[in-house]
Amino acid sequence: MKQWILPLLAFGILPLWAAENKRELIDCNIIFEQRKSEIIQEIERIDEQQQALQALQSATQNVLDQKEADLKKREIALNNAQKEMEEREAKITRLLKRNEEILKQIRGATQSKVGETYAGMKDSKSAAILETLPEAEAAEILFALDTKVMSKILAKMTPQKAAILTQLLQKGPPFEEEKESQQTPNNTIPKNGENAI
């Protein structure tokens, strides 16, 4: 090998070859330096993207946390409103029940006073007054009376009116007016042995 090197030195090939190798080394170093700066720039770009992603994740998490806190506040407000509504509803129910009881007491007191008034009157006078009242009201007053008093008053009424009131009393409260089509008109009642058609 030394035999080859010496002629190469003699002809100046070795310095050319060494210069060529040195140039290739310099070119490689330049390429590596350029590539190194590209890699560093790429790493910096990746770092920037990673920081941006972390900032986005942080902002998203903050928004989600805020929405969850708002949702919890709304849920608490709705629960409180629902409790208030239930309490109001219970209070209204209690008031309605109490008012119904008071109304029953008032009606009972009124009925008893009216009943006492009619019970204290003569049967014929009571019968005359009750015949002029609407049938539902007359039945309501009769219903409040003692059965003995009621029977005496009904006995003093016309048979038609007594029959209508008896039917209403049999149905019981609440007393409602009979429809005219269901009532027997006065002119269709058979007279002394006549047959009704």
38 and 101 in a common domain: yes
Query: Is residue 193 one of the residues assigned to a domain?
Result: no
User: Pick from 88, 110, 132: which residue ends a domain?
Assistant: 110
Query: Is residue 6 one of the residues assigned to a domain?
Result: no
Query: Is residue 115 one of the residues assigned to a domain?
Result: no
127 and 95 in a common domain: no
Q: Which pLDDT tens digit goes with each residue over 65-98?
A: 999 999 999 999 999 999 999 999 999 999 888 8
Distance CA 15, CA 22 (A): 10
Query: Is residue 192 one of the residues assigned to a domain?
Result: no
Q: Which pLDDT tens digit goes with each residue over 25-39?
A: 667 777 777 787 888
Print the domain residue range for 44. Answer: 12-110
Query: Is residue 191 one of the residues assigned to a domain?
Result: no
125 and 77 in a common domain: no
Q: How many domains does the chain have?
A: 2
Distance CA 131, CA 65 (A): 80
Please name the residues in contact with 131: beta carbons below 8 A apart, sequence gap of 6 or more.
138, 157, 158, 161
137 and 106 in a common domain: no
Query: Is residue 57 one of the residues assigned to a domain?
Result: yes
Query: Is residue 148 one of the residues assigned to a domain?
Result: yes
141 and 100 in a common domain: no
82 and 143 in a common domain: no
Please name the residues in contact with 17: beta carbons below 8 A apart, sequence gap of 6 or more.
8
Q: Which pLDDT tens digit goes with each residue over 145-170?
A: 778 888 888 888 888 888 888 888 88
